[in-house]
Amino acid sequence: MKKDCAIKVTNMTKTFKLYSDKPNTMKERIVRGWKSKTETRTVLKNIDLEIKKGETVALIGVNGSGKSTLLKLMTKIIFPNKGTVETNGKLTSLLELGAGFHPDFTGRENIYFNAAIFGLTKQEIDSRLDSIIEFSELGEYIDSPIRTYSSGMYMRLAFAVAINVDADILLIDEILAVGDQHFQDKCFAKLEELAKSTMTIVIVSHSLEPLKKLCNRGIWIKDGGIAMDGDFEKVSEAYVKECA
């Protein structure tokens, strides 16, 4: 893997097994037997992809095209059935709301919990705690259990932690679609700042307009493959034209 490469995907295929007609009761198991029907579905097929350090890349495509699966493969939450997915540098991610949080912990406790997952020591978290709380704008709610949080409050806390762990690679999946407009604008302003740094950002979103200022590259995922890869404006225009 080259030194200037942040993420490299080589001849990668990902499949999932889908189970149907699974017997749920003892009667069904006696009558129909214990076996359930299985179907193998290929979500991504023979993907080759390189993302350089410092690039800000958007993954676009219709629902079910494989965008989020590709992002999860990059985080190593799941693994390919064939091929490899390599990353170079410290990685942080914003995927499903609440991922990495414990619902019974307070927001403050979850900052320590979540940031520790990303590799920060207690001393490092102590030094950044005030900045994280200030950016989240959660105020007195920071000491409430996060099971009482709205989806927007979850996003505030998750984003505030993710941008304060000094990662080399930031992966984001649609999480910025929740919350109020003020905080969304604040997040995109921060992402524009990070995009000008050496950080590598890969973002999945259906909201193409805000990405025009942010992304210098677009990758259109279609039917489990890469339909187009290049300048974001050109890729997004082709995608919108086909979807129209």
CA distances from 130 to 114, 126, 127, 141, 215 (A): 15, 8, 7, 14, 30
Do 92 and 166 meet the contact criterion of CB atoms below 8 Å apart? no
Residues 180-201 have pLDDT tens digits of 888 888 988 999 999 999 999 9
Query: How far is C-alpha 110 from the geometric centre of its chain's CA atoms?
Result: 19
What residues does each domain of the chain span? 5-89+168-243, 104-166
The whole-number average pLDDT for the span 150-173 is: 91
Which superfamily does CATH assign the domain made up of 5-89+168-243 to? Answer: P-loop containing nucleotide triphosphate hydrolases (3.40.50.300)
Of the chain, the percentage scoring pLDDT greater than 70 comes to 90
CB atoms within 10 A of CB 228: 18
pLDDT band, very low/low/confident/very high, at 169 (cuts 50, 70, 90): very high
Residue indicated by tokens 């006696």? 30
Entry pTM: 0.87
The yes-or-no verdict on residue 49 having pLDDT over 90 is: yes
The whole-number average pLDDT for the span 214-240 is: 95
Q: What is the pLDDT of residue 119?
A: 86
Q: What is the pLDDT of residue 75?
A: 93
Q: What is the pLDDT of residue 40?
A: 87
Separation CA 167–CA 145 (nearest Å): 27
The whole-number average pLDDT for the span 12-33 is: 71
The yes-or-no verdict on residue 18 having pLDDT over 80 is: no
CB atoms within 10 A of CB 236: 20
The yes-or-no verdict on residue 31 having pLDDT over 60 is: no
Helix H or strand E segment including 120: none
